[in-house]
Every structure is written in C-alpha cells, then in structure tokens.
Amino acid sequence: MTRAGLCTEEDIEQLVTHFYAAVRQDAVLGPIFNRHIDDWPSHLSKLVDFWSSILRGTARFRGAPMPAHQALPELQPELFQRWLRLFAQSCAAHTNAAMSARAMEVAPRIAQSLWLGWQQCHRAGLPEIPLMPMEAL
Ligand code: HEM
C-alpha cells in the first residue's frame, strides 16, 4: 500500500475534527487549548496538514511543533498522557482502522519527543521525567 493509500484527506479531517472537539470539551485540556488558540479553523487546518504529511506523505505541514509546545508554560506529563488517551479514543472511533493504527504508532513517539524537548527547555539539568508507556495509560 502506498502511503497515500492508507487514508483519504477526508479520513484525516474526520479524525482531527473528532479529536479537537473532544479536546475542547475536556475539563483539563480544554481550557489550555482555548487559552492559547484564538483561531480554531486555522489550527484545525494546520493539524490536518500535519497528519496528512505523516499519514499520506503529502509534506504539506509547514509548522514548528517543538517551539510551539516549548512556549506553553503549563505542560506536564499528565497532560500528554491525557492527550494520548483522548487521541486513542478518537482513533478507536474512526472507521479507517489501518489509519488509526498508524496514527497510534506515531502519536506516542511525537508526544515523547515534545515532552523531552519541553523538559530540556524548562527543566535543564534536572532528571528527566518519562511519559508512561501507552499500554499503562
Ligand atoms: C499536553 C499535550 C498537548 C497540548 C496541551 C498541546 C497544545 C497545543 C497548543 C495550545 C497548540 C497551539 C500553539 C500555538 O499556536 O500557539 C499546539 C500546536 C500543535 N500541536 Fe499540540 N499539544 C499537545 C500535544 C501534542 C501532540 C502529542 C502532538 C502531535 C502528536 C501535537 C501536535 C501539534 C501541532 C502539529 C501543532 C501546530 C504547531 C505549529 O504551529 O507549528 N500536540 N498544541
């Protein structure tokens, strides 16, 4: 299967829309996202580009996730874990199981990398706090 054959743009739009609707309703993550994001349509469009680049190899994404997350002062491992649990729920609810499986391989690795980068920025010299493995969430 080519990478573009894994899923359609519509599949990705559905996943991103479902996930960020859940995020915005989440008691803990919702207020953080709503504090930092003024323009939701533009955020969702950027996230569709992000996942399209990863899952379909379209190379459309032009952002910089590491500095964007390092600029969020309130990040903690529990927040990444909560993000991953919600993302897993949105993936499980999607009709394209192959796409969801791939997204769930990639998302924990990106979360780990963003959390490591955040700690290097905000906890330099302190012991690294690991994220819990996905199976334990
Ligand atoms: C604790 C968990 C997370 C929180 C609270 C969070 C929050 C945010 C917020 C508020 C923004 C917008 C920043 C801005 O435009 O000023 C953002 C951007 C973004 N997030 Fe997250 N995020 C989390 C985890 C993740 C993970 C695990 C991924 C990927 C798997 C991800 C992917 C992205 C991407 C691609 C952007 C756009 C970055 C850019 O503008 O270049 N986020 N996130």
**Reported ipTM:** 0.97
Whole-number pLDDT of residue 134:
85
- 117 ligand 1 Cβ < 6 A: no
Q: What is the pTM of this model?
A: 0.96
Q: Which atom of ligand 1 has the smallest separation from the CA of 64?
A: 41
pLDDT in tens, 68-113: 999 999 999 999 999 999 999 999 999 999 999 999 999 999 999 9
Whole-number pLDDT of residue 1:
45
Exposed/middle/buried for residue 25 (C-beta within 10 Å: 0-12, 13-18, 19+)? exposed
As a whole number of angstroms, the distance between CA 133 and CA 5 comes to 29
- 63 ligand 1 Cβ < 6 A: yes
CA of 56 to the centre of ligand 1 (A): 20
CA of 127 to the centre of ligand 1 (A): 24
pLDDT in tens, 111-127: 999 999 999 999 999 99
* 3-class SS shares of the chain: helix, strand, coil, % to 5: 70, 0, 30
